Homo-oligomer: A and B are copies of this chain.
Amino acid sequence: MDLSQLIAVARGGEPADLVLRNARLVDVLSPDIRTTDIAVAGTAVAGVGRGYRGRETVDLKGRYVCPGFIDAHVHLESGLVRPREFARAAVPRGVTTVVADPHEIANVAGAAGIRFLLRDTARAPLQVFVNVPSCVPATRLATSGAAVSAADFGPLFSDPRVLGLGEVMDFRGVVSGAPRVLAAIAAARGRPVDGHCPGLGGLELNAYVAAGIGSDHECASVGEAREKLRLGMTIFVREGSAARNLSALLPLATPHTERRLCFCTDDRQPADLLEEGSIDFLVRRAVAGGVPPLTAIRMATLNPAEHFRLADRGAVAPGRRADLVVFGDLGDVRPELVYSGGVLAARDGAPAGPAWEEEIAEADPEVRDTVRVDWARMDLRIPATGSRMRVIGIVPDQINTGSLVVAPLVLDGIAVADPDRDLLKIAVIERHGASGRTALGFVKGMGLKEGAIAGTVAHDHHNLIVVGADDASMETAARAAAAGGGGLAAARGETVLAVLPLPIAGLMSGEPIERVREGVRSLAVAARALGSRLRDPFMTMSFLGLEVVPALKLTDLGLVDVEAQAIVPLFAEK
Protein backbone atom coordinates (compact mmCIF):
# COMPACT_ATOMS: atom_id res chain seq x y z
CA MET A 1 0.00 0.00 0.00
CA ASP A 2 1.42 3.36 -0.90
CA LEU A 3 1.48 6.29 1.43
CA SER A 4 -1.28 8.27 -0.28
CA GLN A 5 -3.65 5.33 0.06
CA LEU A 6 -2.82 4.90 3.74
CA ILE A 7 -3.51 8.60 4.24
CA ALA A 8 -6.79 8.32 2.35
CA VAL A 9 -7.93 5.57 4.71
CA ALA A 10 -6.66 7.50 7.72
CA ARG A 11 -8.69 10.59 6.86
CA GLY A 12 -11.79 8.45 6.31
CA GLY A 13 -11.84 8.94 2.55
CA GLU A 14 -11.57 5.24 1.78
CA PRO A 15 -12.65 2.19 3.74
CA ALA A 16 -10.10 0.41 5.90
CA ASP A 17 -9.22 -3.23 5.28
CA LEU A 18 -10.13 -4.01 8.86
CA VAL A 19 -11.71 -2.09 11.71
CA LEU A 20 -11.46 -3.39 15.27
CA ARG A 21 -14.42 -1.80 17.05
CA ASN A 22 -14.85 -1.17 20.76
CA ALA A 23 -11.28 -2.00 21.59
CA ARG A 24 -10.02 -1.09 25.01
CA LEU A 25 -6.75 0.28 23.71
CA VAL A 26 -3.65 -0.03 25.87
CA ASP A 27 -2.11 3.23 24.71
CA VAL A 28 1.54 2.99 25.68
CA LEU A 29 2.24 6.44 24.31
CA SER A 30 0.27 8.98 26.31
CA PRO A 31 -0.05 6.54 28.37
CA ASP A 32 -3.66 5.68 28.90
CA ILE A 33 -6.30 3.00 28.44
CA ARG A 34 -9.45 3.99 26.57
CA THR A 35 -12.17 2.52 24.41
CA THR A 36 -11.92 3.32 20.72
CA ASP A 37 -11.77 1.82 17.21
CA ILE A 38 -8.64 0.85 15.28
CA ALA A 39 -8.53 1.03 11.49
CA VAL A 40 -6.02 -1.09 9.59
CA ALA A 41 -4.93 -0.53 5.98
CA GLY A 42 -2.53 -3.02 4.47
CA THR A 43 0.15 -3.82 7.03
CA ALA A 44 -0.28 -0.62 9.04
CA VAL A 45 -2.63 1.05 11.45
CA ALA A 46 -4.26 3.86 9.50
CA GLY A 47 -6.16 5.49 12.32
CA VAL A 48 -7.26 5.25 15.91
CA GLY A 49 -10.61 6.76 16.71
CA ARG A 50 -14.29 6.61 15.95
CA GLY A 51 -15.70 7.01 12.47
CA TYR A 52 -13.89 4.48 10.34
CA ARG A 53 -15.57 2.14 7.87
CA GLY A 54 -13.96 -1.19 7.08
CA ARG A 55 -14.24 -3.95 4.51
CA GLU A 56 -14.05 -6.22 7.52
CA THR A 57 -15.15 -5.32 11.00
CA VAL A 58 -14.54 -7.14 14.26
CA ASP A 59 -16.43 -6.04 17.35
CA LEU A 60 -14.06 -6.62 20.28
CA LYS A 61 -16.77 -5.78 22.82
CA GLY A 62 -14.37 -4.13 25.20
CA ARG A 63 -11.50 -6.59 24.95
CA TYR A 64 -8.07 -5.05 25.38
CA VAL A 65 -5.73 -4.37 22.48
CA CYS A 66 -2.05 -3.73 22.97
CA PRO A 67 0.87 -3.55 20.53
CA GLY A 68 2.56 -6.79 19.51
CA PHE A 69 5.22 -7.86 21.98
CA ILE A 70 8.89 -7.44 21.21
CA ASP A 71 11.53 -9.81 22.56
CA ALA A 72 14.57 -7.56 22.97
CA HIS A 73 17.10 -10.36 22.97
CA VAL A 74 16.70 -14.00 22.08
CA HIS A 75 18.78 -16.84 20.73
CA LEU A 76 16.20 -18.54 18.54
CA GLU A 77 18.38 -21.65 18.38
CA SER A 78 17.55 -22.44 22.01
CA GLY A 79 14.06 -23.35 20.87
CA LEU A 80 15.71 -26.36 19.14
CA VAL A 81 13.48 -25.77 16.12
CA ARG A 82 14.12 -23.91 12.94
CA PRO A 83 13.39 -20.18 13.08
CA ARG A 84 10.15 -20.45 11.10
CA GLU A 85 8.90 -22.96 13.63
CA PHE A 86 9.99 -20.78 16.53
CA ALA A 87 7.68 -18.18 15.03
CA ARG A 88 4.79 -20.66 15.16
CA ALA A 89 5.33 -20.93 18.90
CA ALA A 90 5.99 -17.27 19.65
CA VAL A 91 3.33 -15.49 17.61
CA PRO A 92 0.37 -17.14 19.39
CA ARG A 93 1.93 -15.70 22.56
CA GLY A 94 1.56 -12.20 21.15
CA VAL A 95 5.21 -11.86 20.14
CA THR A 96 5.36 -10.24 16.71
CA THR A 97 8.95 -8.96 16.75
CA VAL A 98 12.18 -10.39 18.10
CA VAL A 99 15.73 -9.15 18.05
CA ALA A 100 17.68 -12.33 17.52
CA ASP A 101 21.35 -12.82 18.27
CA PRO A 102 22.17 -15.87 16.14
CA HIS A 103 25.50 -16.57 17.70
CA GLU A 104 24.84 -20.31 17.97
CA ILE A 105 24.28 -20.88 14.28
CA ALA A 106 27.01 -18.37 13.44
CA ASN A 107 29.51 -20.45 15.39
CA VAL A 108 28.60 -23.39 13.20
CA ALA A 109 27.98 -21.79 9.81
CA GLY A 110 29.13 -18.16 10.04
CA ALA A 111 27.42 -15.45 8.01
CA ALA A 112 25.69 -18.16 5.94
CA GLY A 113 23.97 -19.32 9.11
CA ILE A 114 22.76 -15.81 9.85
CA ARG A 115 21.45 -15.47 6.31
CA PHE A 116 19.59 -18.77 6.65
CA LEU A 117 17.86 -17.47 9.77
CA LEU A 118 16.86 -14.27 7.96
CA ARG A 119 15.63 -16.10 4.89
CA ASP A 120 13.74 -18.67 6.94
CA THR A 121 11.72 -15.92 8.60
CA ALA A 122 11.48 -13.49 5.70
CA ARG A 123 7.75 -13.94 5.28
CA ALA A 124 6.89 -15.16 8.76
CA PRO A 125 4.29 -13.37 10.90
CA LEU A 126 7.13 -12.99 13.40
CA GLN A 127 9.35 -10.10 12.39
CA VAL A 128 12.88 -11.24 13.06
CA PHE A 129 15.61 -8.64 13.35
CA VAL A 130 19.20 -9.64 13.88
CA ASN A 131 22.03 -8.26 15.91
CA VAL A 132 25.19 -9.66 14.40
CA PRO A 133 27.02 -11.83 16.90
CA SER A 134 30.09 -9.97 18.04
CA CYS A 135 32.18 -12.84 19.41
CA VAL A 136 32.35 -15.70 16.90
CA PRO A 137 34.40 -17.59 17.87
CA ALA A 138 34.16 -16.54 21.49
CA THR A 139 37.89 -17.02 22.12
CA ARG A 140 40.90 -18.77 20.63
CA LEU A 141 40.53 -21.50 23.21
CA ALA A 142 37.99 -23.48 21.20
CA THR A 143 37.43 -24.43 17.57
CA SER A 144 34.25 -23.12 15.99
CA GLY A 145 32.86 -24.04 12.61
CA ALA A 146 33.15 -20.48 11.39
CA ALA A 147 34.18 -16.98 12.33
CA VAL A 148 32.28 -13.73 11.99
CA SER A 149 34.56 -10.73 11.89
CA ALA A 150 34.16 -7.01 11.39
CA ALA A 151 34.75 -7.65 7.68
CA ASP A 152 31.48 -9.61 7.53
CA PHE A 153 29.47 -6.78 9.09
CA GLY A 154 29.24 -4.59 6.00
CA PRO A 155 27.25 -7.03 3.86
CA LEU A 156 25.10 -8.01 6.84
CA PHE A 157 24.39 -4.40 7.86
CA SER A 158 23.11 -3.67 4.38
CA ASP A 159 20.10 -5.85 5.23
CA PRO A 160 17.43 -3.62 6.81
CA ARG A 161 16.58 -6.46 9.20
CA VAL A 162 20.08 -6.37 10.66
CA LEU A 163 20.13 -3.73 13.38
CA GLY A 164 23.49 -3.73 15.10
CA LEU A 165 25.85 -5.80 17.16
CA GLY A 166 24.87 -8.71 19.38
CA GLU A 167 25.89 -9.14 22.98
CA VAL A 168 29.52 -8.25 23.49
CA MET A 169 30.35 -11.09 25.84
CA ASP A 170 34.04 -10.42 25.91
CA PHE A 171 33.61 -7.72 28.53
CA ARG A 172 37.12 -8.25 29.86
CA GLY A 173 38.41 -7.57 26.38
CA VAL A 174 36.38 -4.37 26.12
CA VAL A 175 37.56 -3.10 29.50
CA SER A 176 41.17 -3.85 28.66
CA GLY A 177 40.84 -2.32 25.20
CA ALA A 178 41.44 -5.52 23.21
CA PRO A 179 41.75 -4.53 19.54
CA ARG A 180 39.60 -7.32 18.08
CA VAL A 181 36.50 -6.51 20.10
CA LEU A 182 36.98 -2.75 19.73
CA ALA A 183 37.21 -3.23 15.97
CA ALA A 184 33.88 -5.04 16.04
CA ILE A 185 32.29 -2.23 18.04
CA ALA A 186 33.80 0.42 15.79
CA ALA A 187 32.41 -1.36 12.73
CA ALA A 188 28.93 -1.09 14.25
CA ARG A 189 29.28 2.62 14.97
CA GLY A 190 25.95 4.43 15.11
CA ARG A 191 24.05 1.18 15.55
CA PRO A 192 22.75 -0.43 18.73
CA VAL A 193 25.30 -2.61 20.46
CA ASP A 194 24.08 -5.13 23.02
CA GLY A 195 26.04 -5.93 26.12
CA HIS A 196 26.63 -8.88 28.36
CA CYS A 197 28.51 -8.08 31.55
CA PRO A 198 27.21 -10.04 34.55
CA GLY A 199 28.38 -8.52 37.80
CA LEU A 200 30.47 -5.79 36.21
CA GLY A 201 30.50 -2.53 38.16
CA GLY A 202 32.50 0.50 39.17
CA LEU A 203 35.15 1.90 36.87
CA GLU A 204 35.22 -1.27 34.78
CA LEU A 205 31.54 -0.84 34.02
CA ASN A 206 32.21 2.77 33.05
CA ALA A 207 34.83 1.54 30.61
CA TYR A 208 32.45 -1.03 29.14
CA VAL A 209 29.72 1.58 28.63
CA ALA A 210 32.15 4.20 27.32
CA ALA A 211 32.98 1.76 24.53
CA GLY A 212 29.47 2.32 23.22
CA ILE A 213 27.59 -0.66 24.59
CA GLY A 214 23.97 0.20 25.22
CA SER A 215 22.23 -2.69 26.93
CA ASP A 216 22.67 -5.52 29.36
CA HIS A 217 20.49 -8.55 30.03
CA GLU A 218 22.60 -10.18 32.71
CA CYS A 219 21.54 -8.20 35.77
CA ALA A 220 20.78 -10.39 38.74
CA SER A 221 19.91 -7.72 41.32
CA VAL A 222 18.31 -4.33 41.62
CA GLY A 223 21.61 -2.84 42.70
CA GLU A 224 23.41 -4.14 39.65
CA ALA A 225 20.64 -3.00 37.32
CA ARG A 226 20.46 0.45 38.91
CA GLU A 227 24.17 1.02 38.49
CA LYS A 228 23.91 0.06 34.84
CA LEU A 229 20.84 2.23 34.28
CA ARG A 230 22.64 5.20 35.81
CA LEU A 231 25.49 4.83 33.36
CA GLY A 232 23.12 4.81 30.42
CA MET A 233 22.44 1.17 29.69
CA THR A 234 19.02 -0.12 28.82
CA ILE A 235 18.27 -3.12 30.99
CA PHE A 236 16.68 -6.15 29.38
CA VAL A 237 14.88 -7.99 32.17
CA ARG A 238 15.38 -11.64 31.32
CA GLU A 239 13.32 -14.67 32.11
CA GLY A 240 14.71 -17.50 30.06
CA SER A 241 14.77 -21.24 30.50
CA ALA A 242 18.22 -21.23 32.01
CA ALA A 243 18.56 -17.79 33.60
CA ARG A 244 15.64 -16.15 35.36
CA ASN A 245 16.01 -12.62 36.71
CA LEU A 246 12.50 -11.23 36.55
CA SER A 247 11.56 -11.56 40.20
CA ALA A 248 14.82 -10.02 41.32
CA LEU A 249 14.40 -6.98 39.07
CA LEU A 250 10.68 -6.32 39.54
CA PRO A 251 11.23 -3.54 42.10
CA LEU A 252 12.71 -1.46 39.27
CA ALA A 253 9.63 -1.81 37.09
CA THR A 254 7.75 1.24 38.30
CA PRO A 255 6.19 3.99 36.17
CA HIS A 256 9.00 6.22 37.43
CA THR A 257 11.90 4.02 36.27
CA GLU A 258 10.42 1.74 33.63
CA ARG A 259 11.44 3.76 30.60
CA ARG A 260 14.81 2.12 30.07
CA LEU A 261 13.67 -1.42 30.90
CA CYS A 262 12.68 -4.03 28.35
CA PHE A 263 11.76 -7.70 28.53
CA CYS A 264 13.72 -10.47 26.89
CA THR A 265 13.76 -14.25 27.01
CA ASP A 266 17.38 -14.84 25.92
CA ASP A 267 16.97 -18.65 25.83
CA ARG A 268 13.68 -20.53 25.83
CA GLN A 269 13.38 -24.26 25.39
CA PRO A 270 10.46 -25.90 23.61
CA ALA A 271 8.59 -26.96 26.74
CA ASP A 272 8.89 -23.52 28.31
CA LEU A 273 7.83 -21.82 25.11
CA LEU A 274 4.79 -24.04 24.76
CA GLU A 275 3.79 -24.17 28.40
CA GLU A 276 4.88 -20.89 29.99
CA GLY A 277 5.05 -18.83 26.83
CA SER A 278 7.35 -16.09 25.75
CA ILE A 279 7.17 -12.34 26.48
CA ASP A 280 3.50 -12.82 27.43
CA PHE A 281 4.75 -14.96 30.31
CA LEU A 282 7.01 -12.14 31.49
CA VAL A 283 4.14 -9.66 31.29
CA ARG A 284 1.91 -11.93 33.35
CA ARG A 285 4.64 -12.62 35.88
CA ALA A 286 5.39 -8.92 36.21
CA VAL A 287 1.74 -7.97 36.67
CA ALA A 288 1.23 -10.79 39.13
CA GLY A 289 4.25 -9.41 40.96
CA GLY A 290 2.63 -6.03 41.34
CA VAL A 291 3.87 -4.15 38.28
CA PRO A 292 1.17 -1.87 36.82
CA PRO A 293 -0.08 -3.47 33.59
CA LEU A 294 0.66 -0.39 31.52
CA THR A 295 4.23 -0.42 32.80
CA ALA A 296 4.68 -4.10 32.05
CA ILE A 297 3.21 -3.72 28.57
CA ARG A 298 5.44 -0.73 27.84
CA MET A 299 8.45 -2.89 28.76
CA ALA A 300 7.22 -5.43 26.22
CA THR A 301 6.44 -2.98 23.41
CA LEU A 302 7.34 0.71 23.29
CA ASN A 303 10.56 0.45 25.26
CA PRO A 304 12.31 -2.13 23.07
CA ALA A 305 11.01 -0.39 19.94
CA GLU A 306 12.55 2.88 21.10
CA HIS A 307 15.76 1.23 22.23
CA PHE A 308 16.27 -0.38 18.84
CA ARG A 309 14.94 2.68 16.98
CA LEU A 310 12.16 0.61 15.42
CA ALA A 311 10.00 3.67 14.92
CA ASP A 312 7.39 1.73 12.95
CA ARG A 313 6.18 -0.36 15.89
CA GLY A 314 5.87 -0.55 19.65
CA ALA A 315 2.58 1.33 19.81
CA VAL A 316 -0.86 1.27 18.24
CA ALA A 317 -0.82 4.50 16.25
CA PRO A 318 -1.28 5.74 12.69
CA GLY A 319 1.45 4.64 10.32
CA ARG A 320 2.86 2.00 12.62
CA ARG A 321 2.66 -1.70 11.88
CA ALA A 322 -0.64 -3.29 12.71
CA ASP A 323 0.89 -5.77 15.16
CA LEU A 324 -1.97 -6.16 17.61
CA VAL A 325 -2.63 -8.39 20.57
CA VAL A 326 -6.22 -8.86 21.76
CA PHE A 327 -6.86 -10.18 25.26
CA GLY A 328 -9.53 -10.16 27.91
CA ASP A 329 -7.89 -9.56 31.26
CA LEU A 330 -5.36 -6.90 32.07
CA GLY A 331 -4.36 -8.80 35.19
CA ASP A 332 -3.64 -11.99 33.27
CA VAL A 333 -2.68 -11.16 29.71
CA ARG A 334 -3.46 -14.18 27.53
CA PRO A 335 -3.56 -13.38 23.82
CA GLU A 336 -6.83 -14.39 22.15
CA LEU A 337 -6.18 -12.83 18.76
CA VAL A 338 -2.82 -11.80 17.36
CA TYR A 339 -2.51 -9.68 14.22
CA SER A 340 0.85 -9.36 12.54
CA GLY A 341 1.12 -6.64 9.92
CA GLY A 342 -2.66 -6.38 9.82
CA VAL A 343 -3.24 -10.08 9.19
CA LEU A 344 -4.65 -12.50 11.74
CA ALA A 345 -1.79 -14.79 12.73
CA ALA A 346 -3.03 -16.56 15.87
CA ARG A 347 -6.26 -17.32 17.68
CA ASP A 348 -6.69 -18.67 21.19
CA GLY A 349 -3.02 -19.52 21.57
CA ALA A 350 -2.68 -21.39 18.28
CA PRO A 351 -1.34 -20.30 14.90
CA ALA A 352 -4.12 -19.16 12.57
CA GLY A 353 -4.43 -17.47 9.23
CA PRO A 354 -2.91 -17.84 5.80
CA ALA A 355 0.71 -17.11 6.69
CA TRP A 356 1.26 -20.54 8.18
CA GLU A 357 0.01 -22.46 5.19
CA GLU A 358 3.05 -21.64 3.13
CA GLU A 359 5.23 -24.57 2.08
CA ILE A 360 8.51 -24.53 4.01
CA ALA A 361 11.58 -25.02 1.87
CA GLU A 362 14.32 -27.37 2.96
CA ALA A 363 17.00 -25.69 5.04
CA ASP A 364 19.99 -24.29 3.15
CA PRO A 365 22.85 -26.71 2.40
CA GLU A 366 25.22 -24.54 4.46
CA VAL A 367 23.36 -25.44 7.64
CA ARG A 368 22.84 -29.13 6.90
CA ASP A 369 25.40 -31.92 7.33
CA THR A 370 27.52 -29.73 9.56
CA VAL A 371 28.72 -32.56 11.81
CA ARG A 372 32.05 -33.89 10.60
CA VAL A 373 33.86 -36.21 13.02
CA ASP A 374 36.86 -38.42 12.36
CA TRP A 375 35.70 -41.36 14.46
CA ALA A 376 38.80 -43.42 13.68
CA ARG A 377 41.03 -40.99 15.54
CA MET A 378 38.81 -40.64 18.57
CA ASP A 379 40.36 -42.10 21.70
CA LEU A 380 38.55 -41.61 24.99
CA ARG A 381 41.20 -43.16 27.25
CA ILE A 382 42.96 -40.94 29.78
CA PRO A 383 46.37 -42.18 30.87
CA ALA A 384 46.81 -41.34 34.55
CA THR A 385 49.89 -39.13 34.67
CA GLY A 386 49.29 -37.61 38.08
CA SER A 387 47.60 -38.13 41.40
CA ARG A 388 45.52 -34.97 41.48
CA MET A 389 43.36 -33.78 38.65
CA ARG A 390 41.33 -30.69 37.83
CA VAL A 391 37.62 -31.46 37.75
CA ILE A 392 34.74 -29.32 36.52
CA GLY A 393 32.30 -28.82 39.38
CA ILE A 394 28.69 -28.39 38.31
CA VAL A 395 26.63 -25.77 40.16
CA PRO A 396 22.98 -26.84 39.75
CA ASP A 397 20.90 -24.44 37.62
CA GLN A 398 23.86 -22.23 36.84
CA ILE A 399 26.12 -22.05 33.86
CA ASN A 400 29.24 -21.21 35.81
CA THR A 401 31.14 -24.08 37.38
CA GLY A 402 33.57 -24.69 40.18
CA SER A 403 37.12 -25.83 39.62
CA LEU A 404 37.85 -28.81 41.86
CA VAL A 405 41.01 -30.81 42.47
CA VAL A 406 40.30 -34.49 43.00
CA ALA A 407 42.20 -37.76 43.10
CA PRO A 408 41.49 -39.92 40.06
CA LEU A 409 40.21 -43.49 40.07
CA VAL A 410 42.92 -45.35 38.18
CA LEU A 411 42.54 -48.80 36.61
CA ASP A 412 45.50 -50.28 34.78
CA GLY A 413 47.12 -46.83 34.49
CA ILE A 414 43.98 -45.29 33.03
CA ALA A 415 41.94 -42.65 34.84
CA VAL A 416 38.28 -43.69 34.64
CA ALA A 417 34.91 -42.38 35.72
CA ASP A 418 33.89 -43.06 39.29
CA PRO A 419 30.09 -42.80 39.51
CA ASP A 420 30.23 -43.58 43.21
CA ARG A 421 31.87 -40.19 43.69
CA ASP A 422 29.68 -38.67 40.90
CA LEU A 423 32.87 -38.27 38.95
CA LEU A 424 32.13 -38.70 35.25
CA LYS A 425 34.27 -38.47 32.19
CA ILE A 426 33.66 -35.61 29.78
CA ALA A 427 34.83 -35.41 26.19
CA VAL A 428 34.67 -32.61 23.67
CA ILE A 429 35.13 -33.89 20.13
CA GLU A 430 35.84 -31.37 17.40
CA ARG A 431 32.98 -31.78 14.94
CA HIS A 432 33.29 -29.00 12.36
CA GLY A 433 36.42 -30.02 10.46
CA ALA A 434 36.80 -33.74 11.22
CA SER A 435 40.18 -33.01 12.79
CA GLY A 436 39.88 -35.97 15.11
CA ARG A 437 40.79 -33.67 17.99
CA THR A 438 39.27 -34.83 21.27
CA ALA A 439 39.76 -33.24 24.66
CA LEU A 440 39.07 -35.19 27.82
CA GLY A 441 38.43 -34.44 31.45
CA PHE A 442 36.19 -35.10 34.39
CA VAL A 443 33.07 -33.48 35.75
CA LYS A 444 31.39 -33.75 39.13
CA GLY A 445 27.70 -33.16 39.74
CA MET A 446 26.00 -34.63 36.68
CA GLY A 447 24.72 -37.58 38.67
CA LEU A 448 24.75 -40.33 36.04
CA LYS A 449 25.19 -43.72 37.67
CA GLU A 450 25.72 -45.40 34.32
CA GLY A 451 25.55 -44.69 30.58
CA ALA A 452 26.23 -41.43 28.86
CA ILE A 453 24.62 -38.38 27.28
CA ALA A 454 25.93 -36.47 24.29
CA GLY A 455 25.04 -33.55 22.09
CA THR A 456 26.18 -31.26 19.30
CA VAL A 457 24.81 -28.30 21.25
CA ALA A 458 27.77 -27.01 23.27
CA HIS A 459 27.99 -23.27 23.71
CA ASP A 460 29.41 -21.44 21.88
CA HIS A 461 31.59 -23.57 19.63
CA HIS A 462 29.05 -26.39 19.43
CA ASN A 463 31.46 -29.25 19.20
CA LEU A 464 30.29 -32.72 20.13
CA ILE A 465 30.16 -32.94 23.91
CA VAL A 466 29.75 -36.17 25.88
CA VAL A 467 29.49 -36.99 29.56
CA GLY A 468 29.42 -40.56 30.74
CA ALA A 469 30.23 -43.33 33.16
CA ASP A 470 32.07 -45.55 30.68
CA ASP A 471 33.72 -45.22 27.29
CA ALA A 472 31.41 -47.59 25.43
CA SER A 473 28.31 -45.67 26.49
CA MET A 474 30.04 -42.40 25.61
CA GLU A 475 30.89 -43.58 22.15
CA THR A 476 27.36 -44.86 21.56
CA ALA A 477 25.83 -41.58 22.73
CA ALA A 478 28.29 -39.51 20.74
CA ARG A 479 27.66 -41.45 17.52
CA ALA A 480 23.90 -41.27 18.03
CA ALA A 481 24.03 -37.54 18.65
CA ALA A 482 26.23 -36.96 15.61
CA ALA A 483 24.30 -39.18 13.23
CA GLY A 484 22.22 -37.42 10.60
CA GLY A 485 23.74 -34.00 11.12
CA GLY A 486 23.69 -33.63 14.87
CA GLY A 487 21.40 -33.89 17.85
CA LEU A 488 21.12 -34.98 21.46
CA ALA A 489 21.30 -38.58 22.66
CA ALA A 490 21.42 -40.81 25.73
CA ALA A 491 22.90 -44.31 25.74
CA ARG A 492 23.70 -47.22 27.96
CA GLY A 493 26.45 -49.49 26.67
CA GLU A 494 25.70 -50.06 23.02
CA THR A 495 22.02 -49.18 23.39
CA VAL A 496 20.70 -45.80 22.39
CA LEU A 497 18.02 -44.91 24.94
CA ALA A 498 16.77 -41.72 23.34
CA VAL A 499 17.80 -39.43 20.54
CA LEU A 500 16.60 -36.08 19.26
CA PRO A 501 17.95 -35.32 15.80
CA LEU A 502 18.92 -31.68 15.25
CA PRO A 503 19.97 -31.75 11.62
CA ILE A 504 20.03 -27.98 11.14
CA ALA A 505 23.53 -26.92 12.12
CA GLY A 506 23.46 -29.64 14.74
CA LEU A 507 21.36 -27.21 16.76
CA MET A 508 17.82 -27.30 15.47
CA SER A 509 15.23 -29.80 14.41
CA GLY A 510 13.20 -29.55 11.26
CA GLU A 511 10.17 -30.97 13.07
CA PRO A 512 7.22 -29.19 14.72
CA ILE A 513 8.01 -27.84 18.14
CA GLU A 514 5.45 -30.09 19.84
CA ARG A 515 7.32 -33.12 18.55
CA VAL A 516 10.65 -31.66 19.60
CA ARG A 517 9.27 -31.10 23.08
CA GLU A 518 8.43 -34.83 23.20
CA GLY A 519 11.95 -35.64 22.07
CA VAL A 520 13.37 -33.48 24.84
CA ARG A 521 11.12 -35.24 27.33
CA SER A 522 12.32 -38.65 26.19
CA LEU A 523 15.89 -37.51 26.66
CA ALA A 524 15.11 -36.26 30.15
CA VAL A 525 13.46 -39.56 31.03
CA ALA A 526 16.51 -41.42 29.76
CA ALA A 527 18.93 -39.22 31.68
CA ARG A 528 16.88 -39.70 34.79
CA ALA A 529 16.89 -43.44 34.24
CA LEU A 530 20.68 -43.23 34.05
CA GLY A 531 20.65 -41.56 37.44
CA SER A 532 20.88 -37.80 36.89
CA ARG A 533 18.83 -35.70 39.25
CA LEU A 534 19.57 -32.41 37.51
CA ARG A 535 16.57 -30.46 36.25
CA ASP A 536 18.00 -30.50 32.73
CA PRO A 537 21.25 -32.43 32.34
CA PHE A 538 21.48 -31.73 28.60
CA MET A 539 21.32 -27.98 29.12
CA THR A 540 23.81 -28.22 31.94
CA MET A 541 26.13 -30.22 29.72
CA SER A 542 25.75 -27.73 26.88
CA PHE A 543 27.44 -25.07 29.02
CA LEU A 544 30.31 -27.24 30.27
CA GLY A 545 32.25 -26.26 27.16
CA LEU A 546 31.65 -22.51 27.40
CA GLU A 547 35.09 -21.10 28.00
CA VAL A 548 33.95 -17.54 28.77
CA VAL A 549 31.97 -18.38 31.90
CA PRO A 550 33.95 -19.32 35.04
CA ALA A 551 35.60 -21.29 36.34
CA LEU A 552 36.75 -24.51 34.58
CA LYS A 553 35.47 -25.63 31.18
CA LEU A 554 36.43 -28.16 28.52
CA THR A 555 36.74 -27.33 24.82
CA ASP A 556 38.16 -29.39 22.00
CA LEU A 557 41.51 -27.77 22.80
CA GLY A 558 41.52 -28.88 26.41
CA LEU A 559 40.63 -27.76 29.91
CA VAL A 560 40.22 -23.99 30.15
CA ASP A 561 40.94 -21.98 33.26
CA VAL A 562 38.45 -19.24 32.45
CA GLU A 563 39.87 -16.56 34.73
CA ALA A 564 43.35 -17.09 33.28
CA GLN A 565 41.95 -17.64 29.78
CA ALA A 566 44.44 -20.42 29.33
CA ILE A 567 44.51 -24.13 28.64
CA VAL A 568 45.58 -26.02 31.74
CA PRO A 569 46.59 -29.68 32.08
CA LEU A 570 44.12 -32.18 33.48
CA PHE A 571 46.56 -33.38 36.08
CA ALA A 572 47.39 -30.61 38.49
CA GLU A 573 50.89 -30.02 39.83
CA LYS A 574 51.58 -31.11 43.35
Indicate whether A161 reaches chain B with its CB closer than 8 angstroms.
Answer: no
Min Cβ gap A483→B in Å is: 47
A46: CB under 8 A from chain B? yes
Let me know if A12 and B210 touch, CB within 8 A.
Answer: no
A158 within 8 Å of B (CB atoms): no
Q: What 1/0 mask marks residues of chain A from 8 to 27 whose CB sits below 8 Å from any chain B CB? A: 11111000000000000001
Interface residues of A in 200-214 (CB under 8 A from B): 202-204, 206-207, 209-212, 214
In the complex, A12 Cα to B205 Cα: how many Å? 11
CB A21 to nearest CB in B, in angstroms, measures: 15
**Which residues of B are found within 8 Å of A211, using beta-carbon distances?**
3, 6-7, 319
Q: With A7-B177, A11-B204, A203-B51 known to touch, is A210 a contact of B30 (CB < 8 Å)?
A: no
Residue numbers in B under 8 Å from A27 (CB-CB): 230
Leading 6 A-B pairs by shortest Cβ distance: A232-B317, A47-B206, A11-B207, A210-B318, A10-B207, A10-B210
Complex formed: what's the CA distance from A11 to B179 in Å? 16
Q: How far in angstroms is the closest Cβ of chain B from A6? A: 5
Interface size class of A (residues with CB under 8 A): 35 or more
Q: Known contacts A4-B182, A256-B255; is A11 also within 8 Å of B231 by CB?
A: no
Check A533 for interface membership: any CB of B closer than 8 A. no
Partner of A30, one of B10, B186, B257, B311: B257
Do A229 and B30 touch across chains, with their CB atoms under 8 A apart?
yes
Residues of A within 8 A of B (CB): 3-4, 6-12, 27, 29-32, 44-49, 51-52, 174-177, 179, 182, 185-186, 202-204, 206-207, 209-212, 214, 226, 229-232, 255-257, 259-260, 306, 309, 311, 315, 317-320
Check B318–A206 contact: CB distance below 8 A.
yes
Query: Do B212 and A319 touch across chains, with their CB atoms under 8 A apart?
Result: yes
Q: Within the complex, which residue of B185, B203, B212, B260 is in contact with A49, where a contact is CB–CB below 8 Å?
A: B203
Instruction: Given A46-B206, A47-B203, A49-B202, check contact A232 B7 (CB 8 Å).
Output: no
Q: How far is the CA of A3 from the CA of B173 in the complex (A)?
A: 13
Contact check, B257 vs A31: say whether CB atoms are below 8 A apart: yes
Pairwise interchain contact B230-A32, C-beta atoms closer than 8 A: yes
Residue pairs across A and B with Cβ atoms less than 8 A apart, 10 shown, are A8-B207, A10-B207, A11-B175, A11-B176, A11-B204, A32-B230, A48-B231, A209-B319, A231-B318, A255-B255
